[in-house]
């Protein structure tokens, strides 16, 4: 391959293969990434109650009503130590049935249809009418079975029965129990709606985060490829054989980008190997006046990180920290402790020519990295940028808690 052929190959590769793909990725970002099995299970648990949770809820309702009815309608009358008529026990069962119907009718219909729809006055009016209807049914039952006479004969069998005015306290007590049941059902419905809204909010938030992460990745990938292809293009002006080596390294890096970025996390060692390839690729086009110092401590093989999270900081050094006229040094250090990962980059500041790709770059790399950190590692990272005017040096430091 001659020099002209190598130059044409690079231009064709850049214009015909990568640019249409990148533009399409930026214009048509998928709504969400392909979720892992763990994320799928989590989203399912957030959006739809499981069969087990429904069974537990049903059991709680049954036990709640059983306890309520046992204490209020069975234990209390038995403590009177009086043989009560069957009509009384029938009334107790009738009251419990009315309370159950009022509870679930209010929880499943009145609260969702009226209270949650801001028809508050209509809701209160229907509750008051229901309370009046509840008392009316109890009065009708008492008159039908002649409850006053039967209770008198149970408590005072030796005293002749004389009709008396109805016991107002007894009916007020029943009305209080009715409103207690309705109030409890309203609270239960409100809590269930809050839980449902919270599940929906979490699901929507996850959708938004996944969509934004997909957009950020779609920006990072072509951003990286364009810069790398420009570097290889510049290398063809120096040595074609070294450009071939650069293309092989680029293909290996592309494999990482295409496959590892589909995952939420990738082994930290793979990310480091990717950075090594990138730095070696950059060094192919550097002159002897540029010194690259790397200090990477041994890393935990089991540590994981979001893919392509460290690249923009390293890339920034080569974009703004090299000069063809003056000696310059780029320092990159990476250390992993039991608690956090620390990446520190340092480079001198050189003003890029506005006609070069570096000069025209929009600087989305570090900005996107910061946004990805906010989404993936909230409250678990610290990214600082420092410019030392006296030495014209730029220092970026990222501290990240991986677990």
How far separated are the first and last CA of the chain, in Å rounded? Answer: 49
pLDDT digits (tens, 9 = 90+) for 234-278: 777 777 787 787 788 888 888 887 777 778 888 888 888 888 888
Tokens 């890393």 map to which residue? Answer: 299
Using one digit for the tens of pLDDT, what is the confidence trace for 296-346?
876 777 888 888 888 888 888 888 888 877 888 999 999 888 778 999 999
CATH of 222-401, picked from 3.30.565.10, 3.40.50.1100, 3.90.700.10, 3.40.1360.10, is 3.30.565.10
pTM: 0.51
Q: How many residues does the chain have?
A: 403
Q: Collect all residues with Cβ–Cβ distance below 8 Å to 396 and sequence separation of at least 6.
A: 313, 316, 344, 345, 346, 366, 383, 384, 385, 386
Residue pair 299/269 in contact by the 8 Å Cβ criterion: yes
Question: Going along 151-271, which residue ranges are E strands?
Answer: 266-267
Per-residue pLDDT tens over the stretch 66-124: 888 787 777 777 778 777 888 888 888 888 899 999 999 999 999 999 988 889 999 99
Location of each CATH 3.30.565.10 domain in the chain: 222-401
């Amino acid at each position: 391959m001659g020099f002209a052929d190598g130059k044409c190959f690079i231009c064709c590769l850049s214009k015909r293969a990568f640019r249409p793909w990148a533009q399409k990725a930026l214009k048509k970002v998928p709504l969400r990434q392909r979720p892992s099995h763990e994320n799928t299970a989590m989203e399912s648990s957030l959006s739809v109650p499981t069969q087990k949770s429904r069974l537990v809820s049903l059991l709680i309702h049954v036990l709640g009503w059983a306890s309520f009815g046992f204490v209020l309608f069975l234990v209390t009358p038995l403590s009177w130590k009086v043989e009560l008529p069957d009509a009384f026990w029938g009334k107790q069962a009738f009251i419990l049935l009315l309370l159950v119907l009022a509870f679930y009718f209010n929880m499943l219909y009145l609260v969702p249809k009226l209270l949650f729809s801001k028809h508050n006055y209509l809701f209160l009016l229907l509750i008051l009418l229901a309370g009046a209807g509840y008392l009316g049914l109890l009065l009708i039952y008492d008159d039908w079975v002649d409850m006053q006479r039967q209770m008198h004969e149970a408590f005072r069998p030796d005293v002749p029965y004389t009709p008396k005015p109805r016991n107002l306290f007894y009916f007020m007590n029943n009305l209080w129990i009715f409103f207690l049941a309705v109030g409890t059902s309203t609270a239960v419905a409100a809590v269930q709606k809050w839980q449902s809204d919270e599940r929906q909010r979490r699901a929507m938030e996850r959708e938004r985060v996944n969509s934004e992460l997909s957009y950020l990745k779609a920006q990072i990938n072509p951003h990286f490829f364009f810069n790398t292809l420009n570097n290889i293009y510049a290398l063809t002006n120096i040595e074609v054989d070294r450009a071939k080596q650069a293309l092989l390294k680029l293909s290996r890096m592309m494999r990482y980008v295409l496959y590892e970025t589909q995952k939420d996390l990738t082994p930290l060692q793979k990310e480091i190997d990717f950075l090594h390839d990138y730095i070696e690729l950059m060094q192919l086009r550097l002159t002897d006046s540029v010194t690259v110092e790397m200090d990477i401590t041994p890393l935990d093989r089991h540590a994981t990180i979001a893919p392509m999270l460290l690249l923009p900081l390293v890339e920034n050094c080569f974009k703004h920290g090299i000069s063809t006229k003056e000696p310059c040094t780029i320092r990159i250090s990476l250390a992993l402790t039991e608690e956090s990962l620390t990446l520190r980059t340092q480079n001198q500041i050189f003003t890029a020519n506005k006609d070069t790709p570096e000069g025209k770059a929009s600087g989305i790399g570090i900005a996107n990295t910061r946004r990805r950190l906010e989404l993936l590692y909230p409250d678990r990272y610290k990214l600082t940028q420092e410019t030392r005017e006296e030495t014209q040096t730029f220092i970026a430091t990222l501290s990240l808690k991986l677990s």
